[in-house]
């Protein structure tokens, strides 16, 4: 049995994880523990949201269930620290838990590389000053953002209430013809059930936050299962294991 733990801030789209568990089938458990902090897409609030003590406190709720790896399931609460800061964040988490660890921001970079993608469009829910930090993070990972849209949504709770049709419009309306993939970087947005539709409409890979977070968790433990129901990323398998 593959068991991966996810540290998820607050409450918004955490039901994407049991949904992914059902898609992946038998032999996998995706455990979610909620962390606390202010629900605000602002740099200072996000730096606090990703503080080490919050992640460790959340992991203590996962520990009794025996996860084999742990992922900080928050894009903005990791990339806001910059590449080196996000690396330190997951290194400290790995040391504190004794497990392979990563975060959604690194998951996006690894997923793009796994698909051979170097030029992307980003359809972000965040305000521009936050979204621009994601662009910088991707650049440090060798990914060029050729188109960025910022929806300017202030809280994760608001993102979690978006109807499916709004998510589809956000994706379809903010692609770029030269982009090799579209990235939607907010774990507060429900996207897992929409991946086949999104990729069909855009005609290219779509990488979304909860999708890549699960993929990264499986990769950390060497679980290479694939499925045709979670986008092009999961048709590739999850590659080799290892931290960050």
pLDDT tens digits for the chain (244 residues)? 999 999 999 999 999 999 999 999 999 999 999 999 988 899 999 999 999 999 999 999 999 999 999 999 999 999 999 999 999 999 999 999 999 999 999 999 999 999 999 999 999 999 999 999 999 999 999 999 999 999 999 898 899 899 999 999 999 999 999 999 999 999 999 999 999 999 999 999 999 999 999 999 999 999 999 999 999 999 865 544 344 4
| CATH code of the domain covering residue 99 | 3.40.50.12500
Per the CB < 8 A criterion, the answer to whether 53 and 43 are in contact is no
Would the pTM of this model clear 0.75, i.e. be above it?
yes
| Domain of residue 112, residue span | 1-244
Name the domain count of the chain.
1
Residues 6+ positions from 87 with CB-CB distance below 8 Å? 106, 244
């Amino acid at each position: 049995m593959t068991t991966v733990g996810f540290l998820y801030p607050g409450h918004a789209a955490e039901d994407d994880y049991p949904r992914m568990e059902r898609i992946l089938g038998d032999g996998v458990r995706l455990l979610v523990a909620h962390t606390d902090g202010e629900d605000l897409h602002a740099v200072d609030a996000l730096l606090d949201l990703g503080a080490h003590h919050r992640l460790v406190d959340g992991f203590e709720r996962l520990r009794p269930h025996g996860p084999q790896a742990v992922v900080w399931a928050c894009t903005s609460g990791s990339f806001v620290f910059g590449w080196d800061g996000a690396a330190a964040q997951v290194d400290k988490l790995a040391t504190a838990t004794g497990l392979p660890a990563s975060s959604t921001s690194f998951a996006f970079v690894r997923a793009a590389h796994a698909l051979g993608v170097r030029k992307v469009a980003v359809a972000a829910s965040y305000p521009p000053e936050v979204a621009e930090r994601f662009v910088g993070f991707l650049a440090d990972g060798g990914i060029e953002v050729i188109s960025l849209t910022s929806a300017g949504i202030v809280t994760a709770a608001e993102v979690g209430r978006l109807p499916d049709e709004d998510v589809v419009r956000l994706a379809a309306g903010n692609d770029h013809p030269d982009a090799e993939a579209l990235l939607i970087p907010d774990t507060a947005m429900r996207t897992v059930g929409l991946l086949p539709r999104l990729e069909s409409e855009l005609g290219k890979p779509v990488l979304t936050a909860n999708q890549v977070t699960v993929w990264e968790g499986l990769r950390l433990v060497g679980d290479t299962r694939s499925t045709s129901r979670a986008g092009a990323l999961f048709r590739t398998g999850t590659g080799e294991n290892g931290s960050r």
